[in-house]
Amino acid sequence: MTAVRPVCVIGLGLIGGSVLRAAGAAGREVWGATAAEADVEAARADGFTVESTVDEALVRAGAAGALVVVAVPLPAVDGVLRRVAELAPDCMLTDVVSVKAPVLAAVRRMLPRTRYAGGHPMAGAAVSGWPAGSATLFDGASWAVTVEPDTDLAVWREVAELALDGGARVVPATAAEHDAAVARISHLPHVLAAVLAATGADGGPLALTLAAGSFADGTRVAGSRAELVLAMCEGNLNPLLAAVDDALGRLGVARGALASTGSLRATVTSGNAGRAALQAHRTGERIPTKVDLTGPRVHEELAAVGRRGGWITGFQADMALAELPFPMATPGT
Amino acid sequence: MTAVRPVCVIGLGLIGGSVLRAAGAAGREVWGATAAEADVEAARADGFTVESTVDEALVRAGAAGALVVVAVPLPAVDGVLRRVAELAPDCMLTDVVSVKAPVLAAVRRMLPRTRYAGGHPMAGAAVSGWPAGSATLFDGASWAVTVEPDTDLAVWREVAELALDGGARVVPATAAEHDAAVARISHLPHVLAAVLAATGADGGPLALTLAAGSFADGTRVAGSRAELVLAMCEGNLNPLLAAVDDALGRLGVARGALASTGSLRATVTSGNAGRAALQAHRTGERIPTKVDLTGPRVHEELAAVGRRGGWITGFQADMALAELPFPMATPGT
């Protein structure tokens, strides 16, 4: 283990603010900066160090050898990376943006020599801003940490340690695999929730009176702040298109079956199976395993842990401690 | 007010079992019957009277002038109505099936002289059976009570009183309007949840690991018992087809916009508006009003209360006490 590295968080909204708190609660030296004046005041009022400008925070990061965490929406990432390139080019770098391939591409383009591993904690998007965050937001959550064939494993481990500080499960994945997965389980749910909310409301006041649990649950994330949803969905264009096409195909099949045979059995059965797979994945037996971080195929081995439905729970000397689902518990392995 | 009428419930699953408990808790004489042996035992163990057969329960209803509540799944309704026709043809009749036009048609066909008003309490479908029910299941829920131009208002009021006994809001609606509304806010959510669950699970174990709140919420009702979902959705064929077509159109527009312009703004904005309409409807100001049950246009006035997003909260002499949303609070009025 190295000495505990300081953490500099750029962007202090729900996620960035929670990273700052969690890292601080784990005993690290932490500071941040944000362009959102309200979040500056709120974070300072809670006793955290917020530098006056992003530049000042990055200069300090460069001097302290801090891990820099980019926690701004995707459209603002390039601007922050430009400042990192100038003021903290040797710092280890991660981010918490909800899509990973575009950030990876931006880092490669703008900071070709920076040591980077992307991150994505899977935690709430329906509320935003510093006051909505907490040190325990990531407790028990999955936190993807990207691993490419050329990822510096020392950086990967530092980013994973940050996630573990927050109580998260570290899920190794390539940026491309991450983006394809979240298109299905995070971005498509937002699109379908929007479609359902609009279709339901078009039923008029009687429909809204009769709306109960299924409609309330199915439309909850349609109440998320539009700018956050748009940044996330539009930033994952091609994977989301593939997921939407899959859903369109399934919905079309349901429509056809209902119209021609009056039956929705295939649709409902496949939905039952999908939901059962989620439950089995969450509650199924887990098998502990290890990945040797000095091994010759370690990058591929880490990615395989995520691909097989596993995660990293900690480190021991040069080993990453992992948990894998019991082979029969999930389909598609 | 008449003396409090006894209640006979046929079918003692989640909904029927809860109706029996709620009516009993309100001080009525109650008994039931069900073909499901497990529910017979469970209800008796909880101290309720369960007759040995549906026929015995209906004979007793006929003798006592009870209100008969049909609480079996749609495919079993015809069979129960046949017994009602033979054994309790003069009883007031209601049901708690989730679609109303098919039940109304069956009653008109099989019991042309029976005094009937359909009902549909908007409460949980993800669990089932007597043990899942409770006397408070309908507390604060909407309970549609159908009103057609030829509905006997004395029956309508008896059924409404039963719903009020359970703490529900009584929502008057024609069977056709009810079915169109629930297609959008109850049946379509089940179809979309099934599509989402299947599409997400197809992403494999990594997708299931990364699945968080949006996927869990969006797929919750995909875990409902398939037979219940199929009975409900397939029993509402044409209204559900219209709702699915509406959703397919919106999802297709989202797909096209994403592919051609990279933007989901129109989709996300309309989803935001739909969700906001739901919130406004639930929390908005309410204006008390009354419907004179002896008036010349009372059937239409009752249906208009539901159509405008209102409900009945009680009765006072010959007046139904209603609450309507403040006119600006909901769109589409």
What is the band of B331 on the pLDDT scale with cuts at 50, 70, 90?
very low
Nearest to B122 among A184, A203, A212 (CB): A212
A170 forms bridges with which residues in the sheet?
A143, A312
Q: Model-level pTM?
A: 0.93
Contact A190 B263 (CB under 8 A): no
Q: What is the pLDDT of residue B330?
A: 45
Residue type, B174: T
The rounded percent of chain B whose pLDDT value lies above 90 is 92
C-alpha–C-alpha distance, residues A275 and B223, integer Å: 6
Contact B171 A206 (CB under 8 A): yes
How would you label B105-140 residue by residue, b for 16+ Cβ within 10 Å and e otherwise? ebbeeebeebbbbbbbbbbbbbebebbbbebebbee
H or E segment to which residue B282 belongs: helix B265-283
Q: Which residues of B touch A96 (CB under 8 A)?
A: none
Kindly report the nearest CA distance between residue B100 and chain A, in angstroms.
Answer: 13
Q: What is the pLDDT of residue B333?
A: 39
Question: What's the pLDDT tens digit per position in B123-169?
Answer: 875 678 999 999 999 999 999 999 999 999 999 999 999 999 999 99
| Residue that has been written with the tokens 């340690």 in this structure | A161
Question: What's the pLDDT tens digit per position in B66-89?
Answer: 999 999 999 999 999 999 999 999
Nearest-CA neighbor of B14 among B54, B64, B73? B73
Question: What's the pLDDT tens digit per position in B23-66?
Answer: 999 999 999 999 999 999 999 999 999 999 999 999 999 999 99
Mean pLDDT, residues B277-289 = 95
Give the mean pLDDT of chain B: 95
pLDDT in single tens digits along all 333 residues of chain A: 446 999 999 999 999 999 999 999 999 999 999 999 999 999 999 999 999 999 999 999 999 999 999 999 999 999 999 999 999 999 999 999 999 999 999 999 999 888 999 999 998 756 789 999 999 999 999 999 999 999 999 999 999 999 999 999 999 999 999 999 999 999 999 999 999 999 999 999 999 999 999 999 999 999 998 998 999 999 999 999 999 999 999 999 999 999 999 999 999 999 999 999 999 999 999 999 999 999 999 999 999 999 999 999 999 999 999 999 987 544 443
Contact A306 B206 (CB under 8 A): yes
Nearest-CA neighbor of A105 among A97, A226, A87? A97
Nearest to A330 among B198, B208, B254 (CB): B208
Residue type, A194: A
Question: What's the pLDDT tens digit per position in B204-239?
Answer: 999 999 999 999 999 999 999 899 899 999 999 999
Nearest to B208 among A191, A254, A278 (CB): A278
Contact A277 B208 (CB under 8 A): yes
Q: What is the pLDDT of residue A125?
A: 57
Contact B199 A307 (CB under 8 A): no
Contact B190 A214 (CB under 8 A): yes
Q: Is B260 exposed, middle or buried (0-12, 13-18, 19+ CB in 10 A)?
A: exposed
| Residue that has been written with the tokens 């129960």 in this structure | B80
Q: What is the pLDDT of residue A327?
A: 72
Interface confidence (ipTM) of the complex? 0.95
